[in-house]
């Protein structure tokens, strides 16, 4: 005989399993096994052409693109299964994988006393190219919560537009690194 607690537990187990998976959508796969297997040098290039950026920055501020790109590269370098370098520094060769990040949408979010808050979001498509051949392609969307309780004048905090964008960029880099870690094994 089943007890109500067993049925409830089974429902939560099914719902929990449905939420498992990756933080990206695979648009093109070269494997299994992945053609990225064994790669250890990654040249990172960002493409902002055609990106839709919400809102406008103040004069003298770093652009949303600069904030996201620099933080993405830092996050990728921190977690990469190999060396991640800007494309200009990595050079070319049969062992170098180009990580081509095409930004689709950047929303720095907003926190206002009257209009409420909107989380920052960044969507990008990432192509992995080796020897001139597109191997894999993924799409990622990352978000940084807009916290109304943080001091909006804190330039390093998540209460600022730049802080939220840096956090989104780091998350993007970490997730690209997680994809590479799985694909290069």
What integer is the mean pLDDT of 83-109?
85
CB atoms within 10 A of CB 83: 13
Average pLDDT over the chain, rounded to an integer: 79
Answer whether CATH 3.40.1350 is correct for domain 23-183.
Answer: no
The span from the CA of 60 to the CA of 89, in Å, is 28
DSSP string, 22-34: -SEEEEE---SSP
The span from the CA of 7 to the CA of 3, in Å, is 7
pLDDT of residue 137: 96
Supply φ then ψ for residue 6, to 5 degrees.
-65, -40
Q: What is the pTM of this model?
A: 0.79
In 80-151, which ranges are continuous DSSP H helix?
87-90
Q: Identify the three-state secondary structure at position 136.
A: strand
Each domain of the chain, given as residue ranges in start order, spans 23-183
The tens digit of pLDDT for each residue in 115-155 reads 667 888 999 999 999 988 899 999 999 998 776 444 445 44
Q: Which of 39-43, 55-59, 145-149 has the highest mean pLDDT?
A: 39-43
- Asked whether the predicted pLDDT for residue 48 surpasses 50, the reply is yes
DSSP class of 57: P
What integer is the mean pLDDT of 69-77?
91
Tokens 């990106």, located at residue:
51
């Amino acid at each position: 005989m089943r007890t109500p607690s067993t049925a409830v537990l089974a429902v939560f187990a099914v719902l929990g399993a449905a939420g498992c998976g990756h933080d990206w959508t695979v648009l093109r796969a070269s494997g299994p096994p992945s053609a990225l297997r064994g790669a250890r040098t990654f040249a990172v290039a960002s493409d902002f052409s055609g990106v839709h950026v919400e809102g406008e920055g103040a004069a003298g501020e770093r652009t949303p693109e600069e904030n996201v790109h620099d933080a993405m590269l830092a996050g990728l370098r921190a977690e990469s299964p190999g060396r991640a370098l800007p494309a200009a520094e990595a050079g070319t060769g049969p062992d170098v994988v180009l990580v081509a990040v095409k930004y689709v949408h950047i929303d720095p979010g907003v926190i206002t006393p009257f209009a409420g808050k909107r989380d920052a979001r960044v969507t990008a498509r990432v192509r992995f190219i080796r020897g001139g051949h597109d191997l894999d392609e993924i799409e990622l969307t990352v978000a940084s919560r807009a916290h109304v309780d943080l001091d909006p004048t804190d330039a390093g905090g998540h209460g600022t537009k730049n802080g939220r964008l840096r956090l989104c960029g780091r998350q993007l880099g970490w997730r690209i690194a997680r994809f590479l870690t799985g694909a290069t094994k």
